[in-house]
Amino acid sequence: MSDMRRRLETVIVAAGRPPHVPGAPLNEPVTFASSFVAGGELEYARYGNPTWTALEAAIGALEGGACVSFASGMAAVSAVVGLVPAGGAVVVARHSYQHTLALLDDGARAGRFEVRRVDVADADAVEAALPGAAMVWLESPTNPALEIADIERLAASARAAGALSVVDNTFASPLLQRPLELGADIVVHSATKLIAGHSDVVLGAVVTGDAALTERIRSHRGLHGAIPGPMEAFLTLRGLRTLSVRLERAEANARELARRLQDAPGVVEVRDPGFGTVLALVLEDAAAADRVVERVRLWIPATSLGGVESLLERRRRWATEAPTIPEGLIRLSVGIEHIDDLADDLLGALAGA
C-alpha cells in the first residue's frame, strides 16, 4: 500500500520514522547539535536538525504539503505575514487569534500594509473585501466566537483576486480539516495546542503545497532564527502520535457536554461548531461567568486549548479580546477525562453560581 493511500490515522503513527532496518530506533532521537561535519546535507543547526525533519515529515504528510516548523505558533504566523508585500492589503477574520490581529495591526501602524477585518462566516463580505488584497487570513472555527468559514469558496475567490489564502488550522487539526485540499495556499498551526496535545510544549508550523512558498518560509526561519528546539520537536511528534484517539474522545466529550449544558441554570447560549474540542458557554454577564470559573474543581482555569486536560476561561478577562465577544462568554477546551466528571463539575458550578 503506498503512503498516499494510507488513512490519516495511520499516517499519524507511521510518518516521520527512521527506516525499518535492523537496529534502527523506532523514533527519531533528539539530536542536540549546533553544527554538523561539513560535506553532508546538514551543516549548521539554525538551518536544519534531524528531529525537526521527522516532525515536519509527519505534519506535512497529514496536511498534504511541505512543513516548516517554528519556535511557536506566533513565529509561524510572523513568517507568513512576512510574505505580504509592502503596500499590500490583508483581509483577516475579525475573530482571529488575538495576537495574529495584534501583529497585523503593528504592521498597519508601521505603514507596511493595510488590514481589513471581516466576518469569515459571511462569504459575500469577505469577497467584497478582496479587491487589491495580497493575503486572506482565515480561521475556522474562529477563536472564541466559533464562526465557520467556507474555506473552499473563499480560497477560490482569493486565488481569482490574486491573493494568497492562509488558514490557521489550529482549532480543527488536519484530521478534521485539510485546507490545502480545499484550495488554500498556506496552513498555519500552533502545534502547542491539539498537535502536541499535552500542554507541555510551545511550537508552530507552516505547511504549503508550493515549493517556492516553502522556500521563502524556510528562508524566513533561517534569517529570523525562530527555530524550534530539538526537544520541543521531539515532544511535539510524540504528542502527535496519539492525536486521532485523543481527538476521538475529546470530540465525543465536547458534543455530549454541549447537549447537557443546553438547559443548565444561567446558560444563555451554548456555541458548538459541531466538530473539534472547543465550545463556548455564554452566561448573563462577566460576574456570573467569573463565579463559574472560580467554583470548578476538575476543570482548570487557564488559557490555551487542545490538551488532554479540560480548561476554561472567561475570554473578556483579556483587555485585548474583541469587544464583539460577550462579557459572559467562557471558552471551554474539552479534554479526554470521563464525560460524567466533566459534566458534574461544570453543572455543579453553574447551579451554585
Ligand X SMILES: *Cc1c(COP(=O)(O)O)cnc(C)c1O
Q: Contact positions toward ligand X, by CB under 6 A?
A: 72-74, 77, 97, 139, 143, 168, 170-171, 190, 192-193, 202, 204
Q: Cβ 58 to ligand X, closest distance in Å?
A: 18
Displacement of CA 348 from its chain's centroid (Å): 31
Residue for grid cell 485540499 = 181
Which CB, 159 or 224, lies closer to ligand X?
224
Helix (H) or strand (E) holding 137: strand 135-139
DSSP states along 214-234: HHHHHHHHHHH--PPPHHHHH
Which residue out of 17, 46, 159, 291 is catalytically annotated?
46
CA angle 273, 275, 280 (to 5 degrees): 40
Question: How many other CB atoms are there within 10 angstroms of residue 139's CB atom?
Answer: 25
Q: Cβ 172 to ligand X, closest distance in Å?
A: 10
Which CB, 228 or 288, lies closer to ligand X?
228
- Determine whether 97 is an active site residue: yes
Which residue out of 168, 185, 272, 290 is catalytically annotated?
168
How do 164-168 and 311-314 pair as beta strands? unpaired
Which CB, 73 or 273, lies closer to ligand X?
73
Residues 229/46, Cβ–Cβ less than 8 Å: no
Q: Which residue is nearest to ligand X (CB)?
A: 73
Which CB, 188 or 283, lies closer to ligand X?
188
d(CA 247, CA 186): 23
Which residue out of 112, 193, 246, 271 is catalytically annotated?
193
Q: Cβ 63 to ligand X, closest distance in Å?
A: 15
Strand, coil or helix: 157: helix
Q: Cβ 169 to ligand X, closest distance in Å?
A: 8
Q: Cβ 203 to ligand X, closest distance in Å?
A: 7
Which CB, 310 or 353, lies closer to ligand X?
310
- Determine whether 193 is an active site residue: yes
d(CA 243, CA 308): 10
- So which residues are the catalytic ones? 46, 97, 168, 193
